[in-house]
């Protein structure tokens, strides 16, 4: 995970241009906001990235906690939302001090693929502790075993067509092939799970889980899961 944290804390080119970056985070925020069922909810977004459109989520909740491990990214988020009292920005280590059942909604999107199975187990245990007995955990962007880099590339091109950055997407894919991202993905790999394997892993962490009808974000070749404490 540390290598991936360092990558996302660098001047990387994972977003092909500003349009891609802005739309990427807006679509994710809109999807997360759709899970906020009450304006009184406390929401945790674990591994939020740049979270450019986090205000869309905060507007539907009482409190939004953004958790980001990359220190440079975290500092930028904290500065961006410094004037919004409904948004706080913390590191993963800060969560250890939070009481049990602190959040109504916990979201972890596009993080599981960067964790080893053991790291994911530890993270799920933490998030299960932080979730209220009546709460909802949404795990997004889980890679299936057969999902290839080509599948991801085609999803990005379709996203580019829809949102007006197709040429940027094509050029960005070429840059990515020669970038440190591709070297990391080739050397470290990405952790993948079948539908059944992830449901079992969530059950082992104390969740009753099912696959969502659609994934958060633009790539519908990946999976999202909806999980709750089993007695709720």
Q: Are 88 and 23 in contact (CB under 8 A)?
A: no
Write down all domains in the chain, each with its CATH number in brackets.
2-228 (3.40.50.150)
* pLDDT tens-place values along the chain, 232 residues long: 677 788 778 877 788 889 999 999 999 999 999 999 999 999 999 999 999 999 999 999 999 999 999 999 999 999 999 999 999 999 999 999 999 999 999 999 999 999 999 999 999 999 999 999 999 999 999 999 988 888 988 999 999 999 998 888 888 787 776 666 667 776 777 899 999 999 999 999 999 999 999 999 999 999 999 999 986 5
- DSSP H or E stretch at residue 123: helix 117-130
pLDDT at 232: 54
Phi-psi bin for 193: left (phi > 0), alpha (psi -120 to 50), beta? beta
Q: What pTM, to 2 d.p., does this model score?
A: 0.91
Question: Which of these, 66, 118, 120, 133, lies nearest to 95 by C-alpha position?
Answer: 66
How many CB atoms are closer than 10 A to CB 122? 13
Question: Which of these, 192, 211, 184, 181, lies nearest to 112 by C-alpha position?
Answer: 192
pLDDT at 16: 82
C-alpha distances in Å from residue 102, one per residue of 41, 132, 161: 10, 6, 40
Chain Cα centroid distance, residue 156: 17
């Amino acid at each position: 995970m540390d290598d991936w944290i360092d990558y996302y804390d660098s001047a990387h080119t994972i977003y092909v241009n500003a349009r891609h970056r802005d739309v990427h985070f807006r679509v994710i925020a809109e999807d997360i906001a759709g899970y906020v069922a009450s304006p009184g909810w406390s929401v945790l977004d674990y591994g939020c990235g740049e979270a450019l459109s986090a205000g869309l989520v905060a507007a539907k909740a009482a409190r939004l906690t953004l958790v980001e491990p990359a220190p440079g990214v975290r500092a930028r988020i904290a500065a961006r939302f410094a004037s919004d009292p409904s948004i706080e920005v913390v590191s993963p280590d800060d969560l250890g001090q939070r009481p049990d059942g602190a959040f109504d909604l916990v979201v972890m999107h596009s993080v599981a693929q960067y964790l080893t199975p053991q790291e994911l187990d530890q993270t799920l245990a933490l998030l299960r502790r932080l979730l209220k007995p009546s709460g909802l955990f949404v795990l997004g962007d889980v890679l299936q075993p057969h999902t290839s880099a080509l599948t991801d590339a085609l999803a990005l091109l379709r996203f580019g067509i829809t949102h007006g950055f197709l040429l940027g997407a094509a050029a960005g894919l070429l840059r990515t092939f020669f970038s440190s991202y591709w070297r990391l993905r080739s050397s470290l790999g990405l952790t993948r799970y079948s539908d059944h394997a992830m449901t079992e892993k969530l059950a082992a962490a104390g969740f009753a889980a099912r696959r969502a009808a659609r994934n958060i974000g633009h790539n519908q070749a990946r999976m999202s899961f909806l999980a709750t404490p089993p007695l709720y």
